[in-house]
């Protein structure tokens, strides 16, 4: 197919266009080479994602405590805006389970579900989250998301998945439950289980079982029936649509609503309305902290998915611009009747597998959702809430990874502790407390580790000029020369501990006359550490011990030269540790060389 001619006002000046503008509008980069083949790929992907997104959008809006149609609204304008500002070619933006849960928890603190104030709070959350993300992007603060370590994020998502699944059991069984923590939900469930609606359970539980089977068994069945692997994979993803059609038809045909089965009811047949977030200073202050947490969690989830998918095609994303793209998408959601959105893992993977090549696929998906909102919503009147609950449960349980706890713990007790605390506090005290506790513990453990850098006493590996830890290797050492390799930069957090370690070791070995600090891993020595080294130099001098340095990196040496430390240093600065040993213990090096020549 030929090249697609896009609006000329975008690209006619592309040769002289300022790189700065293209950086903030990535569409100017990929749009100028948009071709017919790309259009076909994007349209096919959009159709498939649209089919998947309709039931998800309705379900996640219900999870957020909002009318189902709000989920459709949140799946239109944000997709179009992200296509303009986002850098990922395949990320699909929209409502997701974890952000929906956080929205319900935050909005529920200021208003009751089902009220206009609750919807207003959701709009404000989206707007504040968007502003926070855009500002962070303009200030190039994408790296701040690294404060949320992977164990903390993994633990949070696992705990949130359990809470979300538990919160949907009430809808699945036809009982009313409440609460934002697992404890609250469990207590509510125990109080209301006696009112279980058997008709709802008879509808919801088979739908749940079918959806679980679809994930594992539908594709193999289609392959046995002769479908090609790619076609089988794509058709298998329509499982939720099959469940919705079947249960909606059963509910309507058997008048199950008369037997207590709760249904979605009337959904407005319209495109998203133009809305403005409520400018209430007190409300904004109440929602500021939840919006910040929501922004960070949403960005980390989104950028992780985007990086993973981009790497598969040897593409790259720009995290700072992703902040702007995601922020603009949330602002768009707040102005079109939606609620906070982010890049979703499941739909992004489907978008990628379906062959999407540019963000235009997201814009085409938004058009598909708009068509559905105008034509399909009357058919969803009898859609049971139990089916949406089953859809949510199946989706979120795929995010729960309890095995990660043991894997993380066995690799690092520090990271395992942060993960366990995040999971425990999220389940017991809620999402914000859980994330705060996990991040707080991670920072405290990091500072503790930074305050006690790894220091090893090293010796010469026979027959080489390499030095290794005396506790791990058979090495040659001199009783008069103590060589300590420092494996961290020296800063105010650890300089004092290093001084104590060196002086304690010298005190325990009275024969030592030289201390050599091997600085091959030291990338920085800050002023506090410099003062500590000066004090160590004086302390060792008083004991008749000379302090030396070896393998000091160029930038570190440049800074040391700007101080008086080198003038007062009692020893020398050696280019290599071998040079230091040859100068301070020549007999050891000579004996090693003699033995080597005899061999």
For residues 69 and 267, what is the distance between their CA atoms, to the nearest angstrom?
A: 6
At CA 291, angle to CA 287 and CA 295, rounded to 5?
Answer: 180
For residues 275 and 119, what is the distance between their CA atoms, to the nearest angstrom?
A: 11
Q: Tell the burial category of 144 from Cβ atoms under 10 Å away from its Cβ (0-12, 13-18, 19+).
A: middle
Q: Tell the burial category of 445 from Cβ atoms under 10 Å away from its Cβ (0-12, 13-18, 19+).
A: middle
Q: Mean pLDDT per segment of 10 residues, for the chain of length 599 residues?
A: 46 51 80 86 88 88 93 95 93 92 92 93 97 94 76 89 92 89 92 93 95 89 87 79 92 94 89 92 94 91 87 86 95 96 87 87 94 89 93 87 93 92 92 85 85 92 92 94 95 93 94 96 95 96 96 96 95 96 90 59
Q: How many CA atoms lie within 13 A of 361 on its CB side?
A: 31
22: tokens are: 């293209």
Beta bridge partners of 260: none
Domain map (residue ranges) of the chain: 37-440, 455-598
For residues 163 and 169, what is the distance between their CA atoms, to the nearest angstrom?
A: 10
Other C-beta atoms closer than 10 Å to the C-beta of 72 total: 29
Q: Which of 553, 568, 560, 499 is nearest to 526 (CA)?
A: 560
250: tokens are: 């059963």
Whats the size of the chain, residue-wise? 599
- Between the CA of residue 72 and those of 80, 96, 215, 364, 373, what are the distances in Å? 14, 12, 24, 14, 7
- Between the CA of residue 26 and those of 34, 87, 310, what are the distances in Å? 13, 6, 15
104: tokens are: 């319900």
Q: What is the DSSP letter of 271?
A: P
For residues 315 and 87, what is the distance between their CA atoms, to the nearest angstrom?
A: 10
pLDDT reported for residue 358: 92
Q: Which of 243, 189, 197, 208 is nearest to 390 (CA)?
A: 208
Asked if 155 contacts 387 with a C-beta cutoff of 8 angstroms, the reply is: no
Other C-beta atoms closer than 10 Å to the C-beta of 443 total: 13
Beta bridge partners of 482: 515
- Between the CA of residue 556 and those of 356, 516, 519, 550, 563, what are the distances in Å? 48, 16, 10, 12, 11
Q: What's the predicted TM-score (pTM) here?
A: 0.79
344: tokens are: 């979703």
Beta bridge partners of 263: 384
pLDDT reported for residue 19: 62
Helix 97-107 / helix 431-451 crossing angle, nearest 10 deg: 110
416: tokens are: 């395992």
For residues 306 and 36, what is the distance between their CA atoms, to the nearest angstrom?
A: 25
pLDDT reported for residue 117: 95
Q: Which of 104, 99, 158, 165 is nearest to 129 (CA)?
A: 99
Beta bridge partners of 515: 482, 547
Q: Which of 456, 534, 442 is nearest to 488 (CA)?
A: 456
Do the bridges between strand 93-94 and strand 342-343 make them parallel or antiparallel, or are there none, so unpaired? antiparallel
403: tokens are: 């095995």
pLDDT reported for residue 432: 81
For residues 255 and 344, what is the distance between their CA atoms, to the nearest angstrom?
A: 35
Only one residue has tokens 């500590």, namely 532
Fold classification of 455-598 (topology level)? Transcription Regulator spoIIAA (3.30.750)
pLDDT reported for residue 14: 47
Helix 281-312 / helix 97-107 crossing angle, nearest 10 deg: 170
Asked if 253 contacts 196 with a C-beta cutoff of 8 angstroms, the reply is: no
Q: How far is CA 489 from the centre of its chain?
A: 28
Q: What are phi and psi of 546, to 5 degrees?
A: -95, 140
């Amino acid at each position: 197919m030929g090249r697609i001619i896009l609006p000329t006002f975008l690209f006619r000046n592309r040769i002289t266009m300022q790189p700065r503008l293209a950086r903030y509008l990535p569409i100017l980069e990929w749009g100028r080479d948009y071709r017919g083949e790309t259009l076909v790929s994007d349209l096919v992907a959009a159709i498939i994602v649209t089919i998947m997104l309709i039931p998800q959008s309705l379900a996640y809006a219900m999870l957020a405590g909002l009318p189902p149609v709000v989920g459709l609204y949140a799946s239109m304008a944000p997709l179009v805006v992200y296509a303009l500002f986002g850098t990922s070619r395949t990320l699909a933006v929209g409502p997701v389970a974890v952000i929906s849960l956080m929205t319900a928890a935050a909005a529920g603190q200021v208003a009751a579900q089902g009220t206009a104030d609750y919807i207003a709070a959701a709009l404000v959350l989206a707007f504040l989250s968007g502003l926070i993300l855009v500002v962070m992007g303009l200030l190039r603060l994408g790296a701040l998301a690294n404060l949320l370590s992977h164990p903390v994020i993994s633990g949070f998502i696992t705990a949130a998945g359990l809470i979300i699944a538990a919160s949907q059991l009430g809808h699945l069984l036809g009982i009313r439950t409440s609460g934002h923590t697992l404890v609250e939900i469990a207590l509510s469930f125990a109080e209301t289980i006696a009112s279980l609606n058997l008709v709802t359970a008879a509808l919801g539980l088979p739908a749940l079982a079918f959806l679980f089977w679809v994930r594992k068994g539908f594709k193999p069945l289609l392959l046995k029936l002769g479908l090609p692997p790619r076609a089988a994979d794509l058709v298998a993803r329509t499982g939720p649509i099959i469940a919705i059609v079947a249960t909606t038809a059963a509910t309507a045909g058997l008048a199950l609503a008369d037997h207590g089965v709760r249904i979605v009811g009337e959904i407005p047949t319209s495109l998203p309305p133009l809305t403005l977030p409520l400018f209430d200073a007190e409300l904004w202050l109440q929602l500021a902290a939840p919006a910040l947490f929501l922004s960070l969690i949403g960005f980390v989830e989104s950028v992780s998915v985007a990086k993973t998918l981009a790497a598969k095609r040897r593409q790259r994303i720009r995290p700072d611009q992703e902040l702007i793209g995601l922020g603009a998408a949330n602002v768009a959601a707040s102005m079109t009747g939606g609620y906070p959105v982010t890049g979703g893992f499941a739909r992004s993977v489907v978008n990628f597998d379906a062959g999407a090549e540019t963000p235009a696929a997201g814009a085409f998906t938004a058009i598909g959702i708009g068509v559905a909102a105008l034509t399909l919503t009357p058919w969803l009147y009898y859609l049971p809430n139990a089916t949406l609950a089953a859809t949510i449960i199946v989706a979120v349980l795929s995010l729960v990874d309890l095995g990660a706890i043991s894997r993380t713990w066995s690799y690092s007790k520090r990271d395992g502790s942060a993960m366990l605390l995040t999971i425990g506090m999220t389940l017991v005290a809620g999402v914000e407390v859980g994330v705060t506790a996990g991040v707080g513990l991670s920072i405290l453990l990091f500072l503790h580790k930074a305050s006690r850098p790894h220091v090893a006493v090293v010796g010469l590996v026979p027959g080489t000029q390499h030095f290794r830890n005396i506790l791990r290797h058979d090495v040659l050492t001199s009783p008069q020369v103590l060589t300590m390799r420092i494996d961290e930069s020296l800063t105010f957090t650890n300089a004092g501990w290093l001084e104590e370690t060196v002086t304690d070791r010298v005190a325990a070995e009275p024969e030592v006359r030289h201390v050599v600090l091997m600085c091959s891993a030291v990338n920085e020595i800050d002023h506090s550490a410099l003062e500590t080294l000066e004090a160590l130099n004086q302390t060792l001098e008083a004991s008749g011990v000379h302090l030396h340095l070896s393998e000091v990196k160029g930038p570190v040496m440049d800074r040391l030269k700007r101080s008086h430390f080198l003038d007062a240093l009692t020893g020398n600065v050696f280019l290599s540790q071998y040079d230091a040993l040859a100068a301070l213990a020549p007999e050891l090096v000579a004996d090693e060389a003699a033995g080597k020549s005899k061999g």
